[in-house]
Amino acid sequence: MSILVGKETRVLIQGLGSAGKFHTGTMLEYGTRVVAAVSPGKGGTAWEKVPLFDSVHQAVRATGADASCIFVPAPGAADAVLEAFEAGVRVIVCITEGIPTLDMLKVKNVLAGSSAVLIGPNCPGIITPGECKIGIMPAAIHKPGRIGVLSRSGTLTYEAVDQLTRLGLGQSTCIGLGGDPIKGLDFIEGLSLFEKDPGTNGVVLIGEIGGAAEEAAAEYARKNMTKPVVAFIAGRTAPPGRRMGHAGAIIAGGKGTAAEKVAALKACGVRVAESPADIGQQMVEALKAR
Amino acid sequence: MKIHEFQAKEILARYGVRVPRGKVARAPEEAAAAAKELGGEVVVKAQVHAGGRGKAGGVKKAGSPAEAGKIAGGLLGKPLVTHQSGPRGQMVRALLVEETLPVARELYLGMVIDRETARVTIIASGEGGMEIEELARTRPEKILKAPVHPVSGFMPSQGRRLAFEMGLGKEQAEKFTAFLSGMYRAFVELDASLVEINPLVLTQAGEVVALDAKLNFDDNALFRHPEVEALRDVEQEDPAEVEAGKHELSYVRLDGNIGCMVNGAGLAMATMDIIKLFGGEPANFLDVGGRTDAARVKKAFQIILSDPNVRAILVNIFGGIVKCDVIAQGVVDAVSEMGLKVPLVVRLQGTRVDIGQEILKKSKLDIIPAETMREAAEAVVAASRR
């Protein structure tokens, strides 16, 4: 079992530039059912046996694609997300980084209240190990299993997954939520999906400084999670007020510091790894403690 | 991206926002001439990209053109150290010389994007002149907020509500609403990330005027605003950070002595955290990004080594998009060419790690290899103390 994507998921690709092609190749290699790609003007042709379409509407109608992976460059990325949404795609994964915040603000407000799930932008994507990889994460570190992973970071997610796998803990589904200030799926929605998934026994949550998503997730976990949650917060040593690459990593007005987030999580019964090297081990112990 | 106060005021004025009459001066005689033109009595304001200018002596009143010239002479060409500028301060190259206004009342007005609600949100307070963050902590009820829906845009009713709650009269409420309307248009049309008017003043003549103005822009949207990009003043930014930005590296200089080169912002922060856990101090945050090649790795090394405090370097790469062999080759090239004099710890994981490690081994360079993040942190902290 898993959440959001699995063996049956039919994936279409938006943005078949060099990065799009490279990562689509790794997705095909992994066994992901990539059924279509959208490349305006090239409809009717194919790339590596993947049929090409002029628009997402055409691709969805012809192939029944229900998930999309977006590699479209930042200036056109919001348009690509909305095209997928209008065409009825159920899970929209946006890898693109550097999208203007006001573009995402519009996207978020259009999607509000709908059943479509947006993952990202500025994220590694989503993977259900052994079944379906949508995104740019290195496949080899993953292993099928029963731990869910939710993360605001990209490479730090790989670090956590690698630790889990080395300790013999496979993953049900791993999701990179993305580092931008305005994004799709959040911790709470992810936690709720994992709580309901009979194939998940515990959840790793990787946060970072800025915003209040971890604090909200802590409160949600206290009230709703019967499964153990293990967290790590990156940026304990980041100096206040400095921008650390991610728009997400801004501390505004003393809110969203690592110390506050760690305290909120601990107060709600979430195990917090002090060191980024101990995330996997903390999950081992959390599962033992039950 | 930040801009100067005088640039922010020029932009806001184009959107119908009322600002004091003023002139930019880059020499004492220009300041004196500006003061004369503005009626003699003026305020001389140092233009730097840091807040807290008033307390640092960067904002001064002048009673005459001669005095304005003298104040200008004392400020221009010298760094101004404020609580936000860092100990080295920021160089004053320009001054804004402005008319003085008879102020009846000071308010606070801000506009930011609230990530939780995904709305441009107006923040206002009738308690002007106070440290706004202090006020938010001690008397949060004095901070008013109004989220703007992207479909409707800013609505006059929102302006009236805020104005009356702050105790403004009907006429001033109308002026305040017009002010906000212009400010909102500037925000969305130019992809701002922050507008702050502190203070916003009500003059004795009943006008609503931006006495100060701060305007920041979304770096991700600069591609569609070349006119905004043109306002960048690189002299106000850290030279190493500017150099890094040119090569699409994300670099922030810190006070420690362990240089870090990592891919991904989250892992980069976590690497700094673990260094600190083992008793070390990171010298920088450096994210080499996802599209790194050997040349960019070399550039990253140059930037790290431009900091004289660096005693040891840690390279921590978890390859996803980034391929470990590319990083390894970049490290070997940089080290052989630059003749590294500080210890270097390299930890590679992920995509093509085997080829990467092979490249490092074959190079016979003095590199301390590490398998896990913990080993890497321990090794670099020990090396930094040698």
B40-73 pLDDT tens trace: 899 999 999 988 898 899 999 999 999 999 999 9
* A25/B contact by beta carbon, under 8 A: no
**B258 and B282 Cβ atoms separated by less than 8 Å:** yes
Among all residues of chain B, which has the CA nearest to that of A109? Answer: B118
Predicted confidence (pLDDT) at residue B336 exceeds the cutoff of 90: no
Mean pLDDT on B371-379: 94
Note the pLDDT of residue B129. 63
Give the number of A-B residue pairs with CB atoms closer than 8 Å. Answer: 164
Among all residues of chain B, which has the CA nearest to that of A18? Answer: B291
Note the pLDDT of residue A166. 95
Burial of B307 (0-12, 13-18, 19+ CB in 10 A): middle
Mean pLDDT (chain B) is 92
Note the pLDDT of residue A244. 37
From CA B200, how far away is CA B71, in angstroms rounded?
25
Chunk chain A into consecutive blocks of 10 residues (it has 290) and report each block's average pLDDT, rounded to whole numbers. Answer: 93 95 95 97 95 98 98 97 98 96 97 96 96 95 97 93 96 95 95 97 93 91 96 84 38 64 93 96 93
Alpha carbon B8 to its chain's center? 15
Q: How far is A121 from chain B (nearest CA, A)?
A: 13
B335 or A151, greater pLDDT = A151
Interface test with A, best of B220, B278, B347, B349 (most A CBs within 10 A): B220
Among all residues of chain A, which has the CA nearest to that of B84? Answer: A241
Q: By three-state DSSP, how is residue B235 classified?
A: helix
Q: Measure Cα distances from A95 to A12, A72, A148, A234 in Å.
A: 13, 8, 20, 21
Q: Which residues of A touch B274 (CB under 8 A)?
A: 275-277
For A122-160, what is each residue's pLDDT tens digit? 999 999 999 999 999 999 999 999 999 999 988 999 999
> Is A57 among the residues known to form the active site?
no
Q: How far apart are the first and last CA of chain A?
A: 21
For B141-166, what is each residue's pLDDT tens digit? 888 999 999 999 999 999 999 999 99
Note the pLDDT of residue A239. 67
Note the pLDDT of residue B130. 63
Note the pLDDT of residue A212. 84
Predicted confidence band of residue B239 (pLDDT cuts 50, 70, 90)? confident
Percentage of chain B exceeding pLDDT 70:
99
Note the pLDDT of residue A248. 32
**B150 and B82 Cβ atoms separated by less than 8 Å:** no
Note the pLDDT of residue B364. 86
The CA-CA-CA angle for residues A159, A163, A169, to 5°, reads 130
- Strand pairing report for A202-208 and B22-25: unpaired
Note the pLDDT of residue A255. 58
**A151 and A163 Cβ atoms separated by less than 8 Å:** no
Note the pLDDT of residue A276. 95
From CA B227, how far away is CA B345, in angstroms rounded?
44
Note the pLDDT of residue B242. 80
> Which residue in A157, A211, A238 is closest to B115 by CB distance?
A211
Give φ, ψ of B111 to 5 degrees: -145, 125
State the ipTM, two decimals.
0.89
Q: Which residues of A touch B194 (CB under 8 A)?
A: none
Instruction: Mark yes or no for CB contact A246/B266 under 8 Å.
Output: yes
